Amino acid sequence: MSPAALLSALLLTAAPPSPAQKAKSLAASRSWEELYLAFSAGDATDVPAPQRGPVSAALTQGCEALKDEDPVMAYSMGERAALYDESAGALRCLARSARKTDQRAAAEAALRKGLTKHPKDGAFGLELGKLLLEEQDAAGAVAALEKVPARAKEAGDAKRLLQQARAKASEEGAARREAERLEQRMSGVTGRRPGGTTADVQPAVAGQGRSVTRSASLNYESGTGPDGMRTRSNSRFVIRYFNNERDFGQRAEYEGRVVAALDEAYDFTRSMLGEVRQAPVEVILYTLAEFQTHFGATRARAVAGLYADNAIRLNDAAELTPQTKATLVHEYVHAALDDFCDGRGNNLPVWMNEGLAEYVEWRYMGGEEPNRTVRNYMAQAAKANSLPKLAHLEGQSLIMQRNPAVAYATSAIAVRELVKRGGTGRFLTMVREVGRGRPIDEALTEHYGRTRATLDEDVRAALQ
């Protein structure tokens, strides 16, 4: 062999495996955690297009393997699988694992996407029909079930379910017409209810162009803003969402669930921190499609919610799942911190701001640390001294870090260790000082005898 050929062979031998080869190898050895962590961050477009299918197939294999024993991990793998390639298998597993983790809106989104991209696969229409029937959307169920191909293996089940859905849709149509009739009578200019009693309707608010009705629940005011969004507000929250063609009864039921979730977030935050935000905060609820329209598809895939411009903005809030409620707690903590800092919450180091929100969210979900997969990964990183440093988690959004899950968890553990040392009162005293501009190391030294570097060591020790 010539020297040039030998050098070429050696270079080929030393070349790292491609993403597709790495994914296949990890799937073959059933190393599901390592597979997920290898592809849990970054943009799918970073992987060459011909290799995205094999990466997705490997992640789908992990999703299927874990959907019963660890549905949370299965959902995460299904989500990444669909990001690399929206194959029928990836979307089916994503939908199934979403349902197992009570993320019904995510399941619906996956099924609708599958129905569009794989119309010959009868599973999408059938499962979507079942889901919508459970959600009391018989008309939507009929539309989905009618799209199951006649020759699909699911056709028989779909036909039987379609009969039930059509009967239910007929009943719902009659009920909807009656509710609309009552709503028109209740909102008429006379302001009188059936039977001649005066309705609890107030005149239009000058300059706002909206009529407001006083709700008996927690003194909330309900109405419609000039931008077409439904509103409901009290001294704590101003809830806003697009009507999305909900009828009168559906709006009342949806607003009631939102109010209950917000009050729960308020009460839990107060129990954890000992105080809450004093100024009311806007809470804007988006469906997944609306969030994509306002913030872009990439951000919609990456974040469950955000606090910006004095408002909590929740992604995919059409259904208030346990995870949606946890996200609401997380974002309300951000809103509270901003209030504690007199509107200068952005002055806080990102790890401090996100760390407290993430830690309170863990407590709300019943734990004090990240999920098992992230915890195991961080323990290994702690041994190798490769955890991210707090000094590197200060100015940039954690979602932009190389491994966002680890960045959030590192921040939360740092805050947890501080809270253990002096309680939330001492921590919030430091927060207010740093919000006003005091250097973080100076504040850490005075209140805890620590610096960012020594706090890094505390995080590492806690993981070991």
Average pLDDT, the chain: 81
pLDDT tens readout for residues 334-367: 999 999 999 988 899 999 999 999 999 999 999 9
Tens digits of residue pLDDT in 403-419: 888 999 999 999 999 99
Reply yes or no on whether the pLDDT at 207 is more than 60. no
Query: Is the pLDDT confidence value at 449 over 90?
Result: yes
* H or E, element range at 230: strand 229-233
Residues belonging to the chain: 464
Mean pLDDT for the stretch of residues 288-312: 85
Residues 41, 403 contacting (CB under 8 angstroms): yes
Q: What is the pLDDT of residue 168?
A: 81
pLDDT at 183: 44
Confidence bin at 30 (pLDDT 50/70/90): very high
- pLDDT of the residue at 289: 86
Give the gyration radius of the chain's Cα atoms: 26
Which pLDDT does position 48 carry in this prediction?
92
Tokens of 123: 């599973």
Instruction: State residue 362's pLDDT score.
Output: 93
Q: Which amino acid, 65?
A: A
Query: Which residue type does 348 have?
Result: L
CB 248 within 8 A of CB 290: no
Does 121 score more than 80 pLDDT?
yes
The residues of the chain that CATH labels 3.30.2010.30 are 214-340
Higher pLDDT, 241 or 156: 156
Under a CB-based contact definition with an 8 Å cutoff, are residues 93 and 109 in contact? no
How much is the pTM? 0.54
State residue 111's pLDDT score.
Answer: 93
State both tokens at 289. Answer: 């499609």
In the prediction, which pLDDT does 219 show? 53
Q: What is the pLDDT of residues 375-388, one digit of tens each?
A: 999 999 999 889 99
Work out the average pLDDT over 251-257. Answer: 69
State which H helix or E strand residue 105 sits in: helix 104-117
Q: pLDDT > 90: what percent of the chain? A: 41
- 2 pLDDT band, cuts 50/70/90, is low
Residue range 454-460: average pLDDT?
A: 95
- CA–CA separation, 153 vs 155, rounded Å? 6
Nearest to 74 by CA among 44, 28, 35: 35
Q: Tokens standing for 346? A: 């952005």
With beta carbons less than 8 A apart as the criterion, state whether 32 and 62 touch: yes
What is the CATH code of the structural domain delimited by 17-170? 1.25.40.10
Read off the pLDDT of each residue in 97-116 and give the average, rounded to a whole number: 84
Which of 67, 68, 69, 54 is closest to 78 using CA atoms?
67
Q: Which of 105, 109, 104, 103 is nearest to 91 (CA)?
A: 109
Q: Rounded to an integer, what distance in angstroms lies between the CA atom of residue 218 and that of residue 264?
A: 13
Q: Which distant-in-sequence residues (6+ apart) come within 8 Å of 361 by Cβ? A: 326, 327, 329, 330, 333
Class of domain 214-340: alpha beta
Q: Which residues have C-beta within 8 Å of that of residue 31, sequence separation ≥ 6?
A: none
CA distance 32 to 163: 42
The string of pLDDT tens digits covering residues 153-191 is: 999 999 999 998 888 877 755 555 554 454 455 444 333
The helix (run of H) or strand (run of E) holding residue 405 is helix 404-435
Residue 43 has pLDDT above 80, yes or no: no
| In the chain, ranges of CATH 1.25.40.10 domains | 17-170
The pLDDT, as a whole number, for residue 181 is: 52
**How far apart, in whole angstroms, are the C-alpha atoms of residue 253 and residue 284?**
17
* Residues 179, 186: Cα–Cα separation, whole Å: 10
- The 10s digit of each residue's pLDDT in 47-105 is 999 999 999 999 999 999 998 888 888 888 998 999 999 999 999 999 999 888 777 77
Given a cut of 70, whether residue 199 has pLDDT beyond it is: no
Q: What is the pLDDT of residue 324?
A: 83
Q: Where are the alpha helices (DSSP H) in 341-403?
A: 350-364, 372-383
